[in-house]
Amino acid sequence: MKSRWLTLVLVLGALLSGCKTQVQVLPQVPSPTPTPTLPAEMGEPDWWEDAVFYEILVRSFSDSDGDGIGDLNGLIDKLDYLNDGDPETDTDLGVTGIWLMPIFPSPSYHGYDVTDYYGVNPDYGTREDLQRLLVEAHQRGIRVIIDLVINHTSDQHPWFLAASQDPGSKYREWYIWSEDDPGYRGPDGQQVWHAAGGSYYYGLFASSMPDLNYLNPEVTAAMDEIARFWLEDVGVDGFRLDAAKHLIENGSLQEHSAATHAWFKDFRPVYKGIKPDALVIGEVYETNSRLLRSYLEDEFDLVFQFALAEKFLASARSELGLPAWAELVKTTKDFPTNQYATFLTNHDQNRVMSQLGGDVNQAKTAASLLLTSPGTPFIYYGEEIGLQGQKPDEDIRRPMQWSGEPQAGFSSGTPWRDPESDYPVVNVYQEDGDPTSLLNHYRALIHFREDHPALSRGAFLTVTTVQAKLFACLRSLDDENLIVVINTSGEPISSYQLAVNEAPLAVGDYQLTALFGPTFETPLRVDQSGSFSLEPNLVIPPYTTWILALSPIEERN
């Protein structure tokens, strides 16, 4: 089916090359189908503040038909692994959001060069399969957002074929052209101007990915309609916008231009007008908090916090609490409350377990930091079982390891990419039955976070420990106050302090009770400034996470 479609595109291109009339090649908008509905309780604005997301490359998740390529039906078959929809069970992972990497038709395995913004990659299935996925996910309380690649198209997109083969085509102005090579390079020193038919076109990432020209109102109108189609006709719950900071260039200024910000400000009322509770998260690969924050001023609901991801891993690797603690203090000061997404790694980075040298205990520490911190957490598929992978990119996007069976239980055929060699040991089936596994650590933390809104929406306050290997913080929301304590090291810690200054706590006596961790209760006194200090006589074992509740002790008359 895919090859047939590309053949039609090439035939169209050949016809265009011999014809100077303007030919309409805008893809037809498919007829709408009934939109999957959500349970009533999922209709609240800012629902993402309580969500835990799971990033999926469909190609690598689960293959239902044995062709070696993961597909939408395979993902549907695995939804109960992610969330079975039953709040009484804890054997699922517990995630409440899915981010699908590009699902559009594309000549590449990754899909970040789109050939049809209204289609579903035939390798993955049909639009009907996608609709069924949305229905099944929503019934389980899972929202679904998709990667929307708006910065550029494929060079095989009909728009670009017309633009490159006929300078008189209306689609010529949908891309960025120059009669001469302007000569400047990209932000990473890469070539960005590419020759075609005696002219040059701009493509930031590769010659196969020509950038769209958003100074042309027709391009903006086309993308507005594409957003409407996916939100309204298909019923997805939002978008992750790829390469957001590069949208509109100003000559050699190729990042964070004023025109880029202006375009996103205009785009926000478009998608919010279509679906007020749609989530739009920008991929702004940036560690400067001021630049990141600028995209949250009437542009995106969330941005990814890359600097925090680096520090989570730095704390896990160094077995010191300070890197994560310091970056969280900075993040909560620099960003609007909860208006950022947290993660450990994504599809562009070496996997967590590879960065930590295969150390499962350090991976548990990283998971604890991620899932007890403010922000909306995103988990890259396989992270929860310790899937390894280092660049090239294909090797950090290998098939999910479901079991020790041939091909890791991913496919009955030959996978598009071999699984990692450790799949007989590192797999869902193996870890499912081990209460101490990384998988069950993730499960326990995700379910605990869901049951305790203070961990998702609560304020972040610092806790003094006088112990470099401890990470500690107070998460506070309404009447719920939780102290998180993580021993990041392989040594037991017996001498430490839990001290808080000027917390939003009423003066009085409190009980400190372990909800996640050991069984103990310790009384303490909060003074008039909301401060307290305690030195518990309880050893914190190596690589252990405690979550302690502060509960007022009612006075007896």
pLDDT tens-place string over residues 166-201 = 999 999 999 999 999 999 999 999 999 999 989 999
pLDDT tens-place string over residues 447-478 = 999 999 999 999 999 999 999 999 999 999 99
Q: Identify the DSSP state of 540.
A: B
pLDDT band for 29, please (50, 70, 90 cuts): low
pLDDT tens-place string over residues 47-92 = 999 999 999 999 999 999 999 999 999 999 999 999 999 999 999 9
Taking residue 217's Cβ as centre, other Cβ atoms within 10 Å add up to: 8
pLDDT for res 8:
32
Which residues have C-beta within 8 Å of that of residue 338, sequence separation ≥ 6? 49, 374, 375, 376, 456, 457
pLDDT over threshold 80, residue 130: yes
* Least confident span in 29-33, 248-252, 378-382: 29-33
Which residues have C-beta within 8 Å of that of residue 3, sequence separation ≥ 6? none
Q: How many CA atoms lie within 13 A of 43 on its CB side?
A: 7
Give the separation between CA 48 and CA 338, rounded to whole angstroms.
9
Catalytic residues: 242, 283
Over residues 356-362, the mean pLDDT reads: 98
Rama region for 7: left / alpha / beta (φ>0; ψ in -120 to 50; rest): alpha
Give the Cα-Cα-Cα angle 94, 99, 100 (nearest 5 degrees): 125
- Please state, for a pLDDT cut of 90, what percent of the chain lies above it: 86
- With CA atoms as reference, report the closest residue to 463 among 536, 371, 520, 515: 536
pLDDT for res 493:
96
* Least confident span in 23-27, 192-196, 300-304, 365-369: 23-27
Over residues 527-543, the mean pLDDT reads: 91
Of 35 and 527, the structure prediction assigns the larger pLDDT to 527
pTM of the entire predicted model: 0.91
Give the separation between CA 325 and CA 333, rounded to whole angstroms.
12
pLDDT for res 6:
35
Q: Identify the DSSP state of 505.
A: -
pLDDT for res 208:
97
- With CA atoms as reference, report the closest residue to 415 among 394, 441, 443, 439: 394
pLDDT band for 503, please (50, 70, 90 cuts): confident
pLDDT band for 518, please (50, 70, 90 cuts): confident
pLDDT tens-place string over residues 83-120 = 999 999 999 999 999 999 999 999 999 999 999 999 99
CA distances for 468 relative to 365, 366, 432, 473, angstroms: 15, 16, 33, 14
Q: Identify the DSSP state of 229.
A: I
pLDDT band for 12, please (50, 70, 90 cuts): very low
Q: Which residue has the tokens 């899972």?
A: 142
pLDDT band for 13, please (50, 70, 90 cuts): very low
pLDDT for res 211:
97
Q: How many CA atoms lie within 13 A of 226 on its CB side?
A: 21
pLDDT over threshold 80, residue 380: yes
* The pairing of beta strand 302-303 with beta strand 279-282: parallel
Helix (H, G, I), strand (E, B) or coil at 527: coil
pLDDT band for 24, please (50, 70, 90 cuts): very low
* Mean pLDDT over each residue of the chain, to the nearest integer: 91
pLDDT for res 342:
98
Over residues 480-502, the mean pLDDT reads: 95
